[in-house]
Structure formats: structure tokens, C-alpha cells
Chains A and B, each alone.
Chain A
Amino acid sequence: MSPLSSVSARPKFWRDVRFLRWVFQIFVLAVVFGILYWIYGNYQTNVERSAVPTDFGFLDNPASFTIPGSDFDQSSPVSAAFVRGFQNTMLVAVVGIIFSTIVGTLVGIARLSKNFLVKTLASAYVEIIRNLPLLLLITFMNLAVVLQTFPRIENAWQPFDLFVISNRGLALPWFEGSGLILLLIFAASIVVSLVVMKIERARADRTGQKSRAGIFAILIILGFLLVGWMLLDYSWTLPFVDGRGTTGGLRMDPSFFALIVALVLYTSSHVAEIVRGSIQAVHKGQGEAADALALSPGQKMRIIILPQAFRIAMPAIGNQYLNLTKNSSLGATISYFELTQIAQITVGNGSPAVPAFTLTLFIYLAISLATSLIVNFFNRRLALVER
């Protein structure tokens, strides 16, 4: 410290900003804790008055309900029901995210099509779906489409004898028993095609010729699948009507089908808007720069615009994934056995409401947190790669 500076000028502590800042913060903290304490106090008195348990002991009690189409029965513990609910929520989330991304991206690009009809249809899709309540879409899919319009199982629709569609659900052909083999072959084909693509790109770079990497990749994957077919003979089953249900193939609950379709419709309409906005955001200056370099429209889209648009779109699309996961809780309104429905039923069966719903909320919070961590991870990677 400079010898010139005087120590006498320090303010009295009750006039010192640094001190006052802490006083203020401690005051705010006290108010927050006061409110929380008040709520907690109310909770204590109310719980004592009505003699409800506050711990998580209910998780070990028998659930006393069944989940149709599974080995979960009356005597299984409540905790097992929550695990089942969590699995179903994740199933809806993953399937929903995959299909929303595909549909949303296609519709988003279609909205920028030069073809008037394609553009108009895509816009109509987005504008109609986006402005409807999600619950209405879910209810509509469930009550109107599945339960009313789909036929009874006796006269189920069986297009090409491949599918069975009825108000008891959907059944699709499925690689029963050979799913793993198929997956392995598919993975191997992707690895090989990536290597070939790299070699082909390098060749194209060397010779200056056009790269045919994309075509090669598709041919390799198809080839692998075909060879696998001939050598290993995948076993797969077609579903068929069997009395009051279906046998074989992959069976989907009607409520699962209604929920997924509604969620994908709703989320994809939002994803489409994000995709369109991001492409347009990049398009202006960058598009002109690409034109100035005489890149073809295809090259312009692939090399210049889409990579950048993807980077812009990523955070917003991640948000939509989070929304979809949280919106899957509406499955409870059509009795799909996901997390919220499980919580609702167990509370209805006498489990204490506050612990049960707190547990549910924390599971959702954990899912949200995990999703945003994954999205952030990709975000950071993208940002690094593209920069």
C-alpha cells in the first residue's frame, strides 16, 4: 500500500457497502428460509393431523394393481411400479425424440422448398399443429382415432398382411430372436462404410474428381444386410390375429401409439420451425458467399448452410427434447403406464401423496438434467469442431 494513503478514511462498518451487501443477502436468505419453514411447519401439522406417513416406506408395499401385458402384478412392490413407469417414460422419450427429429427436419426443409405445393403443405402442417393444445392432440388420437376409428380386433385392418391395426393396438413385423444379429451386422456395415467413405474422400481429394462416398456407403450397408440375409437367414415374425389379441411381431399398446403420434406431431412442428429459422439465419450472407464461390445449390446446402444451421439449431432443439420428455407425462391422461400414471395410481391406492409426487418430480428432474448434460456435451463438441 502506498505510504500516502490514509487508513482513517475507512467507513464505519454499518455504512460499508460490503457489509451492507451481506446484511441484505442474509436478510433475503432469512425470508426464503422463513417461507420454507412456514411451509414445512404446515406440512408437519397437517401430516400429524391426518396421520399420513412422510417417509418412502410405501415403496415396499404391494402395488395392488396390474400393468396389462407385463409380469407386473398385484403383489409386486410399488418401487417396481416406479421402475416400470420410468422405463416407459424413457421409451416414449427416446422413440419420440427420434421420430420428431426426422419429421421435424424434413418438414422444416420442406417449408423452404421451391415447390409451391410442398412449401404450402409443410406450412399448413406446422401452423395447424403448433397452435393446438398438446392435450387435445393426445385426446384426439386416443378417443377419436384409436378407440373410435380403428376397427375392433375381429375385423382388424391388415394391410399387406404385414401389420395388424385395431383398437387394441398396433402390431408390426419384427425380427424376433435375431434382433441382436441384425444390430451387429448393421453396426459392422456402418464401420466398414465409414472407412470406405474416408478412403473414397481421400481419393477424391487427390484426383480432384467428385466424391462418390455417399453412394458407396449406401451400397455397402445394403450389401451387408443382403449377405446377412443369405448366410444367416434372419428369423422374423409377422403378427396375426389370435382370438382377442395378436401374436408375433412387435406389439404396441393403443395408448402408446396415440401418445407417440401426438407427441411426434406436436414436437416435430416445433422442431420444423427451429430448423427453418436456423437455415434462414445462415442463408443470407453465407449463401451469397457460397454463390460467389460458384458452389452448386446442393453443395451450398451440404457444405456451407446445414452444418452452421445445425449449430444454431442445437440448443433450441435440445429444449424441445426436454419438453417432449416432460410432455410424456400427459400419457397419464390416456392411461399409458408411464411415470406420472404410476404415481397417480399408487397415490389413489393409498400411498402418501407428497412423498410419491416428490419422488416423481425428482425422477423427471434427473431426466431433464441428464438430457441437458448430453445436449450441452454435443453443443460444446459442435462448437469446437465447427470453429
Chain B
Amino acid sequence: MSESVFTDATKMSGDRKAEDAIVVMRGVVKKFKDFVALKQIDFAVGRQEVVVVIGPSGSGKSTLIRCINRLEEHDQGEIIVDGTELTTDVKNIQEIRKETGMVFQSFNLFPHLTVLDNISLAPRQVRGMPKAEAEELSRELLERVKIPEQADKFPAQLSGGQQQRVAIARSLAMKPKVMLFDEPTSALDPEMINEVLDSIKQLASEGMTMVVVTHEMGFAREVADRVVFMADGEIVEVGTPTELFDSPKEPRTQKFLAQIL
């Protein structure tokens, strides 16, 4: 592998070629009024690749993944997800949201629905899946995140860790091709972080494509195929966990890692 890998975020890990990319961003710019949150981002995610995005707060990492499923609308450049470009076309956005799952920092479970209804809602309403089938799927997913017994409870009756695992199951129910995690453990009490990380690790081992924004460096080192360091709306450095954590090249990366580790 050549040296240039470390600055080019479109180069995917392993021997993936350009046509293996499932998410491609080219020259993406996102502004909030006068503040430029993303400055000319070029970025790609390959199939079955796990990319971890790290960086100081306000560096644009959340904005980056929120642009992928268009919770934020980018101002310039192009974003292609699974072969479909994100444009103002009336169908595109809905199509892309069906193919991407997102897990939020603050869980965002629907408090007025039971756990089971939270999970089966989207398959039934968006995919038109029959109720029985959707509920069976939901129970399987709860099995996978190891809380099958909570199916009939309401979100408020669960612990933070359990809620986040329900949120993961809820996203998986749409059988997404890409999973986006926006600081999934930041709102959790320390003792619950591991149960959620375990669920995410298990997903990674099953070959799910994922983009994870996180502050959990241990987790990044263990699971990531590639680590992206962002600062000031730019991708500063990219590399394998070993490369990036053990021998960071850029001064901004070095400074950030020195503060956090």
C-alpha cells in the first residue's frame, strides 16, 4: 500500500476498487449560514467496510454522516449512495433512507410505542411488510441485540444501554446496506457502553458496512478497517487504526490524540 492512502479518504481499505464503493462523496461542501461545516470533502466507503470517524467536537464528523442520509442537505459536490445520487429528485431521498440505517446519540426511540412497535414500524409502513412478519422480524432482531424479553415494554422503562440496542435493532429492521452511527455511546452511563459496543462489534463481524462517529478509541482500534480523523470541516488524515493511532503524521492528529489518550 502506498503512502498516499493516508491523505486520500476515497481510497478504501483492503483491495477494494472504486466500483466496490457504496458511499461516495466528491467535493462536498456544507454551510450553516456563514459557518462552513464541511470543506470540499472527498470520501468513500466500500462494501462491508467499517470506517470510524474521530475528531474534536465541531469538526464536522456528525454533519458528514448526516449528509449521507440527507438529514442535512449539502450545498455543493455530489454524494452517491449505492449507485443513486442524492439530488432534489422526489424519489431519491426516500430510496436512500431505505438503504441506510442511523443510530443516534440520544436514541430517539418513539416513546409512545412499545419496543416491538418501534422496530416493526418502518418495515410495515415503508416496505409494506405484513404485521405478523414484521413482528417476527422484530423479535429476531431483539434476539440479536440480546434483549428479547423487553419486546412489550415502553422505551422509558428500559435502561439507556437497552434503549440504544433497541435503536440498533430498529435500524436493522429496514435491512439497510449501510449503517450510520452518530456517537452511539456518548449519552450512556459508563457501565452501559460495552453492551452497546458489543452489539456494534457483532454487526461488524457479520459483514455490515458501517460508518461510526465515536470517541471510543479502543473500539475504533479493535473494529475499524479505516480510521478517519477530521478537524475544522476537513478530513485531515486517514489510515488503518495502527497507522493512525501509533504513528500519526499530521500535527493536528498528533495533538488530538495526545489530548484524548
Contact size class for A?
A: 10 to 19
- Name B20-44 residues within 8 Å CB distance of A: 26-27, 40, 42
Contact B40 A2 (CB under 8 A): yes
Count A-B pairs with CB separation below 8 Å.
43
- Name B89-144 residues within 8 Å CB distance of A: 89-93
Contact A17 B90 (CB under 8 A): yes
Interface-lining segment among A5-13, A75-83, A113-121, A235-243: A5-13
In the complex, chain A residues whose CB is within 8 Å of the CB of B157: none
In the complex, chain A residues whose CB is within 8 Å of the CB of B91: 15
Contact A17 B88 (CB under 8 A): yes
**Residue A233, interface by CB 8 Å:** no
In the complex, chain A residues whose CB is within 8 Å of the CB of B85: 9
A16-54: CB near B (< 8 Å → 1, else 0) gives: 111010000000000000000000000000000000000
How far, in whole Å, are A205 and B54 apart by their CA atoms in the complex?
54
Q: Which residue from chain B places its CB closest to the CB of A2 in the assembled complex?
A: B27
Contact B78 A11 (CB under 8 A): no
How far, in whole Å, are A18 and B26 apart by their CA atoms in the complex?
22
How far, in whole Å, are A5 and B78 apart by their CA atoms in the complex?
6
Contacts A2-B27, A5-B77 given: A20-B87 contact, CB under 8 Å?
A: no
**Residue A1, interface by CB 8 Å:** yes
**Residue B59, interface by CB 8 Å:** no
- Name A298-323 residues within 8 Å CB distance of B: none
Q: Which residue from chain A places its CB closest to the CB of B87 in the assembled complex?
A: A11
Choose from B27, B42, B78, B89 the contact partner of A15 (Cβ within 8 Å): B89
How far, in whole Å, are A15 and B78 apart by their CA atoms in the complex?
18
Choose from B77, B88, B89, B90 the contact partner of A1 (Cβ within 8 Å): B77
Quote the shortest CB–CB distance from B145 to chain A (angstroms): 35
How far, in whole Å, are A2 and B91 apart by their CA atoms in the complex?
25
How far, in whole Å, are A4 and B42 apart by their CA atoms in the complex?
10
- SS class of chain A's interface: helix, strand, loop or mixed? loop
In the complex, chain A residues whose CB is within 8 Å of the CB of B40: 2
Contact A11 B92 (CB under 8 A): yes
How far, in whole Å, are A17 and B76 apart by their CA atoms in the complex?
17
In the complex, chain B residues whose CB is within 8 Å of the CB of A3: 27
Choose from B76, B87, B89, B93 the contact partner of A2 (Cβ within 8 Å): B76
- Name A103-140 residues within 8 Å CB distance of B: none
Contact A6 B87 (CB under 8 A): no
- Name A214-258 residues within 8 Å CB distance of B: none
Most B Cβ at <10 Å: residue of A2, A6, A9, A20: A2
Contact B87 A9 (CB under 8 A): yes
In the complex, chain A residues whose CB is within 8 Å of the CB of B90: 11, 15-17, 20
Quote the shortest CB–CB distance from B222 to chain A (angstroms): 33
In the complex, chain A residues whose CB is within 8 Å of the CB of B77: 1-2, 4-5
In the complex, chain B residues whose CB is within 8 Å of the CB of A16: 87-90
Q: Which residue from chain B places its CB closest to the CB of A11 in the assembled complex?
A: B89
How far, in whole Å, are A9 and B91 apart by their CA atoms in the complex?
14
Quote the shortest CB–CB distance from B105 to chain A (angstroms): 27
How far, in whole Å, are A18 and B76 apart by their CA atoms in the complex?
16
Contact B26 A5 (CB under 8 A): yes
How far, in whole Å, are A10 and B88 apart by their CA atoms in the complex?
8
How far, in whole Å, are A166 and B91 apart by their CA atoms in the complex?
77
Q: Which residue from chain B places its CB closest to the CB of A20 in the assembled complex?
A: B90
How far, in whole Å, are A9 and B76 apart by their CA atoms in the complex?
13
Contacts A9-B78, A11-B92 given: A4-B26 contact, CB under 8 Å?
A: yes
In the complex, chain B residues whose CB is within 8 Å of the CB of A6: 78
Quote the shortest CB–CB distance from A4 to chain B (angstroms): 4
In the complex, chain B residues whose CB is within 8 Å of the CB of A20: 90
How far, in whole Å, are A5 and B79 apart by their CA atoms in the complex?
9
Q: Which residue from chain A places its CB closest to the CB of B28 in the assembled complex?
A: A2
Quote the shortest CB–CB distance from B77 to chain A (angstroms): 5
Choose from B27, B87, B88, B93 the contact partner of A4 (Cβ within 8 Å): B27
| CB pairs A–B below 8 angstroms (28 shown) | A1-B76, A1-B77, A2-B40, A2-B76, A2-B77, A2-B78, A3-B27, A4-B26, A4-B27, A4-B42, A5-B76, A5-B77, A5-B78, A6-B78, A9-B78, A9-B85, A9-B87, A10-B87, A11-B89, A11-B90, A11-B92, A15-B91, A16-B87, A16-B88, A17-B89, A17-B90, A18-B88, A20-B90
Other A-B contacts than A4-B26, A16-B89, 13 sampled, CB-CB below 8 A, are A2-B26, A2-B27, A2-B40, A3-B27, A5-B76, A5-B77, A9-B87, A10-B87, A11-B88, A11-B92, A16-B88, A16-B90, A17-B90
